[in-house]
Amino acid sequence: MVQEELLERSKQAMNMSYSPYSHFKVGASILTQTGNIFTGSNIENASYSLSMCAERVALFKALSEGHSVFTDLVISTSSSVPTFPCGACRQVLFEFCADIKIHLTGIAGRVYTVRDLLPYAFDAFQSFEHDISMKKSRC
Ligand code: THU
């Protein structure tokens, strides 16, 4: 089943985490509408603010390889408590896939969308009346 594979891939990605500062490992796997899976782990830096979250690594890998329609995202962490995506990741995910189904390891049978997690989101394409056709497909 695809979701089991997604879960497994996010755990594998978590093991690739580079997190010597926080010791908090995160892995993410994102599924495209065409069935491709991209994964990411958090990658930290001695200059802390340059660190990158796992979710954005996975999303950017997919986007940079031409994928722009996403259906599911799985997030795994080294914590025993399910971990929601940070605010920055919510905003970035909102740009590309506001309705993606987010699965958190440790919370079975419950999915969240970015719209759930980021109500009243800042949407530049509405706020500035940008040409909506320029926007990457939503999920
Ligand atoms: N982190 C993620 O990878 N994703 C999130 O949504 C929350 C935080 C990472 C960033 C940093 O490397 C570590 O977790 C602790 O904040």
pLDDT at 65: 98
**Ligand 1, from 16, 21, 24: best to mutate by most atoms within 8 Å of Cβ?**
24
Asked if 8 is an active-site residue, the reply is no
How many separate domains does the chain show?
A: 1
The CATH number of residue 85's host domain is 3.40.140.10
Would the CB of 51 count as within 6 Å of ligand 1?
Answer: yes
Q: Which ligand 1 atom minimizes the distance to the CA of 43?
A: 12
Does the predicted model carry a pTM greater than 0.85?
Answer: yes
Domain of residue 102: give its range. 2-137
pLDDT, tens digit, 9 for 90 and up, residues 52-107: 999 999 999 999 999 999 999 999 999 999 999 999 999 999 999 999 999 998 88
pLDDT at 7: 95
pLDDT at 127: 72
Residue 4 tokens, joined: 């089991």
Would the CB of 2 count as within 6 Å of ligand 1?
Answer: no
